[in-house]
A and B are shown apart, each in its own frame.
Chain A
Amino acid sequence: MTDRALVVVRAGALTTVQDRGRPGYAHLGVPRSGALDPRAAALVNRLAGNPPDAAVLETTLDGCALRPRSTVTVAIGGAPCPVTVGGRPAAWGAPVTVPAGALLEVGAAVAGVRAYVAVSGGIAVEPVLGSRATDLLSGLGPAPLTDGRVLPLGTPAGPPARVDAVPQPRPPAELVLRVTPGPRDDWFTARAVRELTTRAYRVSSASNRIGLRTEGPALERARTGELPSEGMVLGAVQVPPDGRPVVFLADHPTTGGYPVIAVVRGADLPAAAQAVPGTTVRFVAVRRR
């Protein structure tokens, strides 16, 4: 008899269960959540033989260590990092067999922030509103991993991909985020709008799954007063009173009262999820498609 479960030996700084999130409930105040780097999550699922919506683990900077109770196929991608199985080096970005009881160690990221760990069968915690994602803003979904926790695994859907390795984008040395202006660019001075797209910002260490916070020139408001709460989108560049833009990521609040000066293209957000604190950020204005 096999025991399809995964023991968390070292949870790491912040490791969460993620999938494609729970879109469709924003009107009830439920963030979309889901993997911050969905391309990497989809890729490791494919490598491990999982469907694209299987739940994976998302680590933050320092990886994690796991011991499966039955033999599983795993795949690790996103942020590049050393991988060992039973103390021996194993492949990153390719299917790896972990025998029952062996220790899988996902090391600290050598670049980027978030590594993704897919396990054949997927992490089978109970879904909430159709998703197993941990939402750090509203507390829906499973709590972040803790040492000693046991995670149930689902039944493998198919064989692992037959590849040795697949190319994955390197985390960016400089983060370039294409933005379309608005909807509230008129709340800022013309100079502030120009500054956003011509000056350099840096990724702040206060960034998290809710937003990529930046350090750099403060953007000056043309209007004072409060904006009545309005709906917020993924990638919104919201400017709080300190003037430093915040790019909304998956766990962002569904409504907010600070003006949104511009919106980042969705295709650029996976790179934002992998930008380490201190990385230079440039916002580049593009035309709406």
Chain B
Amino acid sequence: MRAFPVGDDALLVEVASGEQAQALHAELLRRRAEGSLTVREIVPAARTVLLDGLADPVRWASELTSSEIPPAPPRARELIELPVRYDGPDLAEVAAHWKVSEHEVARIHAGTEFTVAFCGFAPGFGYLTGLPARYDVPRRATPRTAVPVGAVALAGPYTGVYPRSSPGGWQLIGTAEAVLWDHARVPAALLSPGARVRFVPVGEA
């Protein structure tokens, strides 16, 4: 683990893997809940967790790098089920990458339990991990100018669901009907870091 002060009141903590980042995130949330850590934002990402709005980041750098981070508690969060139709326009391309049939893409994807590793890109857009590394796919060479709301998409090791229509370069494999983001709802984001997610097929692809 390495920790870099960021400006005067933030700390970026870097670990070796996504799993470790999720464990560190869970531990920092625990410390904030018990009152031993006072910070405005805890922002997990691929290999890091950012603590922003933190008094004395230099002290926290040595404190965290010298402490043992326990593994993320398994199944600590409820499982969110997202109904999905595997009808995306890039299903054939993903099937070719995976060297399986389109039907098999749906079966593998729906058979995986995902974790929201982090959010970003747009409010309520989660980067979901859980697929084995052999199923990584590249982004599209040419991004789409408008990806429809609810599109279930793959890029690199991640699955994401577009909370609203936006440009995007991910490979679209399906459509989810859930409302990912509604700022009139509490909580506004259906998916938050650490949540467990499973895609449940509806109808026939």
A128 contact set on B, CB distance < 8 A: 183
Check A265/B7 contact, CB under 8 A, given A27-B43, A29-B121, A140-B123. Answer: yes
The 8 Å CB contact of A288, one of B40, B44, B58, B188, is B58
Interface centre among A27, A30, A180, A254, by most chain B C-beta atoms within 10 angstroms, is A27
Q: List chain A residues, Cβ under 8 A from B42.
A: 27
Complex alpha-carbon distance, A235 and B45, angstroms? 19
| CB contact between A263 and one of B6, B40, B46, B120 (< 8 Å): that residue | B6
State which residues 2-58 of B face A: CB under 8 Å.
Answer: 4-10, 12, 14, 40-50, 52-53, 58
| Interface flag for A230 (CB, 8 Å) | yes
**Docked complex: B101-145 residues within 8 A CB-CB of A:** 118-125, 127
Cβ of A155 under 8 Å from chain B: no
Distance of A229 Cα from B14 Cα, bound (Å):
11
* CB-CB under 8 A for A255 and B52, given A138-B123, A233-B6: no
A28 in contact (CB, < 8 A): yes
Answer whether residue A143 sits at the interface, using C-beta atoms and an 8 A cutoff.
no
A117 within 8 A of B: no
Q: Tally B residues with Cβ within 8 Å of A.
A: 38
A contacts with B: majority SS? loop
A182 at the interface (CB under 8 A from B): yes
| Set of chain A residues within 8 Å of B14, measured between Cβ atoms | 230
Q: Which residue of A lies closest to B3 (CB)?
A: A183
Q: Choose one: B47, B53, B120, B188; the contact of A254 (CB below 8 Å).
A: B120
A138 CA / B52 CA spacing, docked (Å): 20
Residues from chain A with Cβ under 8 Å of B5 in the complex:
180, 182-183, 288
Q: Is the CB of A30 within 8 A of B4?
A: no
Task: Find out whether the CB atom of A235 lies under 8 angstroms from the CB atom of B47.
Answer: no
Q: Which of A135-162 contact B (CB under 8 A)?
A: 138-140
Q: Taking the complex as formed, is A167 at the interface, i.e. its CB lies under 8 A from any CB of chain B?
A: no
Interface status of A289 (Cβ within 8 A of chain B): yes
Q: Which residues of B contact A232 (CB under 8 A)?
A: 50
* Partner pick for A255 among B53, B118, B192, CB 8 A cutoff: B118
B6 touches A26 (CB 8 A): no
- Asked if B193 is at the interface (CB within 8 A of a chain A CB), the reply is yes
- Report yes or no: B41 in contact with A24, Cβ–Cβ below 8 A: yes
Q: Does A231 contact B (CB under 8 A)?
A: yes
Closest to B7 in A: A263
Nearest chain-B residue to A29 (Cβ)?
B119
Size of A's binding interface in residues, CB under 8 A: 35
- Other-chain residue from A140, A182, A228 in contact with B4 (beta carbon distance below 8 A): A182
CB-CB contacts of B134-168 with A at 8 A, as 1s and 0s? 00000000000000000000000000000010000
Are B12's CB and A230's CB within 8 A?
yes
* Chain B residues within an 8 Å CB radius of A272: none
Nearest CB in chain B: distance from A272 CB, A: 14
**B6 CB to nearest A CB, Å:** 5
Instruction: Give the distance in Å from the alpha carbon of A42 to the alpha carbon of B120 in the complex.
Output: 30
Task: Please encode chain A, from 14 to 49, with 1 for each CB lying within 8 Å of some chain B CB and 0 for all others.
Answer: 000000000111111110000000000000000000
B189 → chain A, closest Cβ, in Å? 4
- Give chain B residues whose Cβ lies under 8 Å from the Cβ of A233: 6-7, 10, 50, 52
Residues of B57-104 at the interface with A, using a CB-CB cut-off of 8 Å, are: 58
Decide: B45 and A231 in contact? CB cutoff 8 A: yes
**What is the CB-to-nearest-CB distance from A19 to chain B, in angstroms, rounded to a whole number?**
16
Find B125's partner among A29, A182, A183, A265 (CB 8 Å cutoff).
A29
Which residues of the other chain, A, contact B193 by a CB distance below 8 angstroms? 27
Tell me whether A288 and B8 are in contact (CB under 8 A). Answer: yes
A128 to B124, CA, bound (A): 14
Q: Could you tell me if A180 and B8 are in contact, using CB atoms closer than 8 angstroms?
A: yes
Q: Does A119 contact B (CB under 8 A)?
A: no
Given A180-B7, A231-B49, verify A28-B188 contact (CB < 8 Å).
yes
Given contacts A27-B41, A27-B44, A233-B6, 14 further A-B pairs with CB under 8 A are A23-B40, A138-B122, A180-B7, A180-B8, A183-B5, A183-B6, A228-B48, A253-B120, A253-B121, A254-B43, A265-B7, A265-B8, A288-B5, A288-B58
13 A-B contact pairs sorted by A residue (CB < 8 Å): A24-B40, A26-B52, A27-B42, A27-B119, A27-B192, A28-B119, A228-B46, A230-B14, A230-B46, A230-B48, A231-B50, A265-B8, A288-B58
